[in-house]
């Protein structure tokens, strides 16, 4: 499953806002420069995030953007839905607006598509992974790692980076 740069840049934008959560509003220009992302594209992305109530903005000289709620309460399924729409593992899936499920649009001689079960499971796995991942986890994962000593079989100490 391939997500677009909209999702990639949107998540990077949110991670940066999560890192600066207690610092107040951050200008989009500062984030664009710090992350090496195009400002005009970030403006379109942040509009989608704002529409989905994931970020909020403040106007003025010290204005900018901040998270609409704590990073620990923002899950990646919300983010991807806001930026990409429905998660569909294959282009033949179509969004069923009534119940939110994604269904295969192929019908073979009156029978459902033979591969629908596989792609439905793939979709479910991706959605579960996104639902179980919070923005706070991404912020912490990207934080500088602390070195801890580890012992080799001979007893010599080697620096090892702790896993996030």
Q: Where in the chain are the domains?
A: 5-141
How much is the pLDDT for 108?
A: 62
Tallying the residues shown for the chain, one arrives at 164
Give the Cα separation of 137 and 71 in Å (integer): 8
List beta partners, residue 147. 161
**Could you give the 3-state DSSP secondary structure of residue 140?**
helix
How much is the pLDDT for 110?
A: 66
Tokens of 118: 């596989």
List of the chain residues with pLDDT < 70: 1, 91-110, 112, 145-164
Distances (CA, A) of 131 to 9, 126, 135: 19, 9, 11
Q: Which helix (H) or strand (E) holds 85?
A: none
Distances (CA, A) of 107 to 84, 88, 90, 104: 26, 17, 15, 8
The DSSP output letter for 146 is: P
Listed residue (116, 142, 159, 157) closest to 35, CA to CA: 142
Name the pTM for this structure. 0.76
Give the Cα separation of 42 and 32 in Å (integer): 7
Q: What is the pLDDT of residues 103-122, one digit of tens each?
A: 666 666 667 677 778 888 88
How much is the pLDDT for 132?
A: 96
Q: Using an 8 Å Cβ cutoff, are 30 and 65 in contact?
A: no
Parallel, antiparallel or unpaired: strands 107-108 and 64-67? unpaired
How much is the pLDDT for 40?
A: 95
Give the Cα separation of 94 and 54 in Å (integer): 25
How much is the pLDDT for 146?
A: 56
Q: Which helix (H) or strand (E) holds 94?
A: strand 93-95
Other C-beta atoms closer than 10 Å to the C-beta of 28 total 19
Contacts for 129 with CB less than 8 Å, ≥ 6 apart: 76
CATH classification (class only), 5-141? mainly alpha
């Amino acid at each position: 499953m391939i997500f677009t740069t909209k999702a990639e840049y949107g998540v990077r934008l949110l991670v940066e806002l999560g890192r600066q959560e207690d610092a107040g509003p951050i200008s989009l220009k500062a984030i664009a420069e710090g992350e090496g992302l195009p400002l005009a594209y970030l403006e379109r992305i942040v509009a989608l995030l704002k529409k989905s109530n994931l970020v909020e903005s403040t106007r003025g000289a010290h204005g900018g953007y901040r998270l609409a709620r704590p990073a620990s309460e923002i899950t990646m399924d919300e983010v991807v839905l806001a930026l990409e729409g429905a998660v569909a593992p294959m282009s033949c899936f179509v969004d069923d607006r009534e119940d939110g499920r994604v269904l295969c649009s192929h019908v073979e001689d009156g029978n459902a598509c033979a591969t629908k079960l596989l792609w439905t499971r793939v979709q479910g796995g991706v959605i579960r992974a996104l639902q179980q991942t919070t923005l706070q986890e991404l912020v912490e994962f990207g934080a500088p790692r602390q070195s801890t000593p580890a012992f080799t079989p001979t007893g010599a100490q080697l620096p090892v980076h702790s896993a996030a």
